[in-house]
Structure 1
Amino acid sequence: MTPAVPRGPLVRWRVSPGRGAWVPVALVCAGAVAAFLWCGVSARDLCAFAAYVLGGVALPGTLLWRALAWRERTAVREDGAGRERTAAREDGAGAGRERTAAREGGAGRGWAAAEEVAGGLALGYAVEVLAYIPARAAGMPLLVVLPPVVVVGAFACVPGLRRHWRREAGGERVPVWCAWVLAGIVAFLIGWSALFQFRVPVEAGYVDLPYHLALVGEVKRHAPPTMPAVLGEPLAYHWFVYADLAATSWVTGVEPVTLVYRLAMLPMAAAMVVLVAAVGRRLGGSWGAGAAAAGVTYFLFSPELVAEVVFSSRSMFTVWTSPTQTFGALLFAALVLLLTGDGRTRWVVPGVLLVALTGAKATYLPLLLAGLLVVIAVRWVVARRVPGRWLGVAGLTLACLLFAQLVLFGRGAQGMSVSPLATARTVWGAVADVGMPEPASVSPVPLVVLTGVHLFCLACVWGGVAGLGRRALEPAVLLLLGIGAAGIGATLVFGHPAESQLYFLEAARPYLSVAAVCGVLAAARTSWVRVAKLAGTGAVAALVVAHVGFLGGALERVVAPYLVLGAGALAVLVGARRRGAVPVVAVLAGFALPTSVRDVAGHVLPSAQWRERLIPEGALEAGRWLRAHSSPDDVVATDLHCRHDWWQVCDSRHFWVSGFSERRVLVEGWAYAESTLSRARPFVRSYLAVPFADPGRLAANDAVFRAPTAANVRTLAQKYGVKWLFTGINPELGKYARLRFQNGTSSVYELPER
């Protein structure tokens, strides 16, 4: 049997029963309110949003989470030692580890309140999305409130369910110190968001936010959704997060632009912090391990020793720029928490989370399936049997994955393709200071070398995995290792015109961090003072090497600093063989510390960052006027396609017309259309240089704005069903269409009846 979790310093920390853990939570909530008000969110919108998220999503979700978990824990108590022996036979050392953790005050003492609320919020979002889709299809989107009303009413009226309004008596409390640590991480996210997201005007926001806004409007008005910026284009994209935002907008009356640019992602990000720590607590045996896992997840990054050359380990700071990633990460973290538990959670909660994850983010299901297959394969080799629950979850995951790819996404790949070492090709472009198409024809040798450096950089962040030893045979740990290996492998094997293959690595980041922390605890054979000294030595070494000028060609100058650090780590490994893996892991982490400190500080310190306002100030007003005076089924035409008119090619990431108006546009921006990405040639031509797939439609569209005539206006109306024209100041259009709205930057015309 695999040995129990070593009783290192982190594992021995006891759970504090004090109620002071709610103080940092209250302070963070107050800080969030102050930040939103400071950044211009109205008190009315803030109150409505908070009331809906707490009462309509988190409360029913938490009640369901508690009810299912309570019943399963009751069954464990009733069966007693017999069930524990069965679990030990099925899961090997995992059950023994959980019993040890229970004796030490760790993961075996039931759900903590923070876990219940965070997991309940994820479950509540899943139920909301799955309720909204049929409600929207039926033309009654406000029916989305029915499930939470039924759940809360049932738990209030049914005697057998009322006890779930209170926490279980044997449940664990988050230690006060740990609550402060997790609250500090959330506070950091709030501060960074307020400075670099909330305070930024909508007109100068991140380039992709209008795209997300347009999809919210599409899912709010139509079912099934299509791509709103290109009429009739299938939406081969994960869109369930937009169903959440659409439902929230319907119920609360909060504008989609406020949800996308300000409010919606923060509850998901905060719950994600708690869930990462909860997974770390369950596998590491204490909240100390959970806090360490959260710290590594959010604040430890690959060492950057050469300017302009990044061997990325990704970060969690895509909270606002990628709502799909944020939403998918939350659902996935709740699912992993259930799967790494004691194995007795009923199927309903994982099933609901899996179904919601199907359309939430395409990245996660392949990673989960890979992790489950690793568990099944290794447990079959080690124990000659596989617990049925792993096979069942794997089968359900495969079914969801096939449904997503074949039905939901219509077999679209959104530009993702098998392209080995594509990430290294991008790095080579920075190393050699060359642009396309040179990276497409580089020889494999430098790509292999750069990939090796990239893996070394990842080892600096997650080298603790090497200390797992026999703990790596536990099913829960195997699941995390499989997810992590799949995330790294997908980053190396796949390619995407916009480097979206790196989202696989970002998705796996929390679980590699948990596994690394568990490995350090399992291999701890030296004092933590010595570990700190070794990490400090590594940090000094990284700073020195980064400022040494190495001779040679471009590749040699980039690789040499990492070779020097690698040789130093190898020397530490040879000299500390009897102390286990912890010394070399400490040195590797030290290599990453200078970059991590710089990047973390850079997220909150004032900077001279400048964002160009590519959206005219009157655009939002014009879009809302059009929304108020048109039907959701009306089609709009515009001549606004390019973000940069002065580029040699059209940067067609232009989506604010469909975003602000919540109307389908004949052709606005086509950069993210499946018909565009499927024609992009990685490293040969940028997807931004790919022309529109239907040049005839584009020509007919633009002719009306460049040289309007009665004939081409009639063609646009009769052939394509256009009713509205959205443009800048164009007096010529007034001869053939009725001017309905105009301000200093935008005009809206209505075409005559066909």
Structure 2
Amino acid sequence: MTAAPVRDVVVTSSPRSASPLRAAGTRVLPWLLALGAVCVAMVQTGVPLLDVLRYGAYLVLGLALPGTLVLRSLVRQRRSLVEDATLGTVVGCVIELVALVLTSLLGVQHWLRVWPALVVLVFVAVPRLRRHWRRVPGETVTILPRLWHWGIAPAAALSAVGAVRTLGVYRLPPADGSYYQDLLWHLGIVHSITRSIPPEIPQVSGELLRYHWFSHAQMAAGGLVSDVPDATILLRLWPAAFTVLAILAAATLARELSGVWWTGPVAGWIIAIVGVAQILPVTAYVNALSLLSFSQTYVVVIALATATLTVRALRGERLGAGWILVGGMLVLASGSKPTAVPVLVAGAAAVLVVGLIVNRSWVRPALILLGIGAVILPVSSRLVSGSDSGSKLSLFDFMEWVRLYHQLTGAPFRPAAGPILPEGVADLSTRSVEVLALVLVTQFVPLAAVLASAVAFRHRRVRKDPAAWFLLGIIGSGVTVYLVLSHPALSQLYFLSLAVAFFGPVLAWAMAAAVERVPARRAVRAGVVAGGVALGWATALVALHASPSVASGQEHSLEAWTRAILVPIGVVLAVAVVGGVAVVVLRRFGRLPAHVGVALLVPAAILGAPLATSAPPVLEGMQAFVRGDALPVVGGLPLPEGGGAALDWLATHTPEDAVVATNRHCASGVQRDRCPSLAFYVSGLGGRQTILEGWGYTSPVGGLQVATRWPERLADNDALFIDPTAAGFAKLEHQFGLGWLVADTSSGPVSPRITQYATPRFHAGTVTVYEVDGRPGRQ
């Protein structure tokens, strides 16, 4: 099946054609306004404007520009500049990772900034490559309409500002404050990657990190090239930038699927804020992006970009050398999150099976993708896809994380413990089956928009499209794994989240398939869409208010919860039935064009109902942003008094390869048995390798409140602070290259004899930084 022709604004380049400045200005203006809003949000949360500009220059000149040039040299068919730049940025990330590994192995990481200049120089110096800078005379290219830019730029700005303000509650160094422990753990990995590849566990010197660290490598590379502090990148700049890139990648895939320009903004808004319709009293987590999981945000961008190139190949476009880019993206995805390659391979498998029956031309590109995945998966699973162990097959184990399940069954919280079903419903009694069904309903009603979009498959053109089966395989595999896999930390959720990331492009495509079939003018079609959105919005609001509340004392009543959940569903079904009857009657009397019923249903489910539940909190956040309201104080693990200043001093006054010992292992309070060993302060904010800090997230341990796997090292480490001796210092200097100490009296007593072996260099609050020396008294 050949690729569908582009149906947007097309320009054929000629020697005399010139880009009208006014038209270009109207396309650039919304992006300038979006950039201005993001800069204001950055400044509000403590980011210097110079850091924003430097990081922005890195993204454009250090990733997008060289990546786009390479993309155009390997993939023959161009799309619009924005879409090429979106895919090109992902290509830039692939090349950057290779460059980072090479420079790290050579010990010249700070030369990383040279690679973009080398690529640009090659494309300037080689005559055959210069054509990729501009349109070639006679070449057909796509220029997206102004409304595309005005439609998607606000979504990008809204998401970026939301990301900045969400993470803005965590103050930038060197301020004291509280941090969600994962953030400091991630920051420690970023620092570790700037020192060596493969990286060490930042909290356990000498132990290789068994984790998917490619998103951290991207942050580390950004810091090395732009000279922006790693903490600023991780807590502010990177989440905003890659959230925007995810929206652009979704928009790019949506237009690739549909050939209709307006599906791009629709997909972008679905990713940005619309999400799904939460009309039930039990909230389901089905977000595509997670600001506290950088690997999830990163892999969404990569997976959408990979799918875009794959769709082109499945539809008959010859990728040629472009398959190298697909392979590079899959490698990048495999080290970013272990979910992406399996679901993309599942999509290719679905195409292969259907293609053997329907169209043999689909088989070759599907086999190529399967072959690439078959090579990558076993290698990545051993090197970069590792995480905490404990995954196994078990049906519906996600229910352990649903409060309603525990309220109705009284079962204890025991994730990944049941042999087949969660403990509370394992007996399959009548009540257990009812509870199981009710909980499943609460989790999957929000996904009803996907089911509504399935009506697009009734069109033969869609059923005969390999892209449809490819995406069906991706989404179906993600949902299936979520249902049948269990993990002690709910990691199976990431399969569902990646499937949800494809909802935006798929739903937008379904909406185009429905609306474009209405035999009427564009204005009439726009009115049908607006009517569908209004209908969905009103229906969701009625359903929300119609749901009976569960009275106090009835929290464990199955009957009360059944009424509260089924009433709003009944409202939706009633509106659908009445609307369907009305459409049939009007069609019979010739008062309604054909296909209007479906064209109303799909926008109602895709945009209208989700907007009714998603818009209010987003609008509240934007109002707070416009007013400049102070961000709330959030909980987390507090730094010890003076810790911010002390760790900032450590980061700026010690060598990057310094090795530090600290007596802080517990998240807070004094050192004690079975405390949460989540102290990542020295490795995170201090940016230095530690002999042994918090060990709670190290894979061999498998828990947060367990004894360390390195008891001898722990004893040697803590003896430096409690009972220091020359022999103790000499041992750790020899084994690990110990050079500095960070002593925190709030973690436990610190012997005054420590000054016989180390010199105090900085003190603040309860924290003192010492430099280990080699005075004769130690001999």
Q: Report how far residue 713 of structure 1 moved.
A: 5.4
Please name the residue that 1:314 is paired with: 287
- 1:279 aligned residue (232, 239, 253): 253
CA 1:340–1:257 in structure 2 vs 1: closer, same or farther (change >3 Å)? same
Instruction: Supply the AA of the counterpart residue of 1:353.
Output: M
Q: Structure 1: how far apart are the matches of 2:2 and 2:534?
A: 31
The structure-2 alpha-carbon separation of the partners of 1:251 and 1:289, relative to structure 1 and needing over 3 Å to count, comes to closer
Q: Alignment length, in residue pairs?
A: 698
Q: Which residue of 1 aligns with 2:524?
A: none
**Pick aligned residue for 2:504 from 508, 513, 516:** 513
For residue 669 of structure 1, report the CA deviation from its aligned partner: 1.7
* Aligned residue number for residue 680 of structure 2: 655
Q: 1:733: Cα distance to partner?
A: 5.0
CA contact (8 A) 1:57 1:124 kept: yes
State whether residues 627 and 662 of structure 1, in contact with CA within 8 Å, keep that contact through their aligned partners in structure 2.
yes
Out of 215, 238, 262, which is 1:288 matched to? 262
Matched, 1:541 2:512: no
- Residue 60 of structure 1 deviates from its aligned partner by 0.8
Equivalents in 2 of 1:417, 1:189: separation in Å?
35
Is this contact kept in 1: 2:257–2:509, CA < 8 A? yes
* 1:594 maps onto 2:591 in alignment: no
Q: Pick from 156, 161, 165: which aligns with 1:186? A: 156
Counterpart among 661, 682, 697 of residue 672 in structure 1: 697
From the superposition, tell whether residues 13 and 222 of structure 1 become closer, same or farther in structure 2 (CA, over 3 Å): closer
SS in 2 for 1:689: coil
**Counterparts of residues 364-513 of structure 1 (less than 5 Å):** 364-383=340-359, 386-409=362-385, 413-428=388-403, 432=407, 436-437=412-413, 441-444=423-426, 445=432, 446-460=435-449, 463-469=452-458, 470=460, 471-513=462-504
The aligned counterpart of 2:30 is 24
Which one of 326, 329, 346 corresponds to residue 353 of structure 1? 329
Q: Is the 8 A contact 2:288 2:498 kept in 1?
A: no
Structure 2 counterpart of 1:528, which letter?
V
1:294 deviates by 1.6
- Match 2:761 to one of 727, 732, 741: 741
Q: Kindly, what percent of the aligned residue pairs are identical?
A: 29
Residue type at the aligned position of 2:113? V
Aligned-partner SS, 2:72? helix
- What is the rounded CA distance, in whole Å, between the counterparts of 1:35 and 1:533 in structure 2? 32
Shift, 1:368, TM fit: 0.8
Superposition deviation, residue 539 in structure 1: 1.5
Match of 1:684? none
Distance across 2 between alignment mates of 1:538 and 1:516: 19
Does 2:111 match 1:122?
A: no
Q: Distance in 2 between matches of 1:719 and 1:67?
A: 50
How far apart, CA to CA, are the structure 1 residues paired with 2:558 and 2:706? 31
Q: Paired residue for 2:634, among 611, 615, 626?
A: 611
Could you tell me which amino acid in structure 1 is paired with residue 536 of structure 2? Answer: A
Partner Cα separation in structure 2 for residue 430 and residue 112 of structure 1: 49
Deviation at 1:153, TM superposition (A): 0.9
Whether 1:329 and 2:300 are equivalent positions in the alignment is yes
Provide the residue aligned with 2:589 in structure 1: none
Judge conservation of contact 1:450–1:559 (CA < 8 Å) in 2: no
1:512–1:302 CA distance, 2 compared to 1 (3 A): closer
1:633: Cα distance to partner?
Answer: 4.8
Q: Deviations over 1:235-289 (max 9, x none)?
A: 1211122222222322332221122122233332222222211111121221111
Q: Provide the residue aligned with 2:55 in structure 1.
A: 49
Question: Which amino acid in structure 2 is aligned with residue 450 of structure 1?
Answer: V
Matched, 1:726 2:742: yes
Rounded Cα–Cα distance in structure 2 between residues aligned with 1:354 and 1:516: 24
Contact 2:544 2:568 in 1 (8 A): no
In 2, distance between residues paired with 1:552 and 1:198?
36
Show the counterpart of 2:661: 637
Letter in 2 for 1:252: S
The 1-side partners of 2:57 and 2:513 are apart by 43
How far the C-alpha of 1:182 sits from its partner, in A, is: 1.0
2:127 corresponds to: 159
Please give the secondary structure, in 2, of the residue aligned with 1:692. coil
SS in 2 for 1:478: helix
**Which region of structure 1 is more displaced relative to structure 2, 568-577 or 663-672?**
568-577
2:16 equivalent in structure 1: none
Q: Identify if the C-alpha distance between structure 1 residues 493 and 703 changes in structure 2 by more than 3 Å, giving closer, same or farther.
A: farther
Return the offset for 1:401.
1.6
Whether the 8 Å CA contact 1:413–1:674 is kept in 2: the answer is: yes
Matched residues in 1 for 2:449 and 2:235: separation?
Answer: 34
Residue 664 of structure 1 and its aligned partner are, at CA, apart by 1.9
CA distance 1:189–1:257, shift in 2 (3 Å): same
Check 1:198–1:437 CA distance in 2 against 1; reply closer, same or farther (3 A cut). closer
Amino acid in structure 1 at the alignment position of 2:194: K
- Contact persistence 2:160–2:243 (CA under 8 A): no
- The alignment partner of 1:387 has SS state of helix
Q: What is the alpha-carbon distance in structure 2 between the residues aligned to residue 435 and residue 741 of structure 1? A: 54
How far 1:636 moved relative to its partner?
2.0
Aligned amino acid, residue 283 of structure 1: L
Does residue 697 of the first structure (1) align with residue 713 of the second (2)? yes
The answer to whether the 8 A contact 1:302-1:311 is kept is: no
1:688 to 704, 709, 734: 704
Q: Distance in 1 between matches of 2:8 and 2:735?
A: 71
Give the conservation status (yes or no) of the 8 Å contact 2:279–2:568.
no
Worse-matched range after superposition: 477-486 or 493-502: 493-502
CA distance change for structure 1 residues 248 and 294 in 2, over 3 Å: closer, same or farther? closer
CA–CA separation in structure 2 for the residues paired with 1:464 and 1:2: 24
Which moves more between the two structures, 397-406 or 456-465?
456-465
Offset at 1:435? 8.1
One-letter code aligned to 2:757: A
Structure 1, unaligned runs of 5 or more: 6-10, 74-109, 678-686
Matched-pair contact (CA < 8 Å) for 2:346–2:473: yes
User: Judging changes above 3 Å, is the alpha-carbon distance between structure 1 residues 323 and 14 closer, same or farther for their aligned structure 2 residues?
Assistant: same
Alpha-carbon distance in structure 2 between the residues aligned to 1:744 and 1:228: 24
- Which one is further off, 376-385 or 111-120? 376-385
For 1:340, the equivalent position in structure 2 comes to 311
**C-alpha displacement of 1:553:** 3.8
Q: Which amino acid aligns with 1:676?
A: V
In structure 2, the residue corresponding to 1:743 is in which secondary structure? Answer: strand
Instruction: Indicate yes or no: 2:234 matched with 1:234.
Output: no
Secondary structure of 1:726's partner? strand
1:117: how far off? Answer: 1.4
C-alpha distance after superposition, 1:352-393 (max 9, x if no partner) = 222222312222111111111111111112235643122111
SS in 2 for 1:171: strand
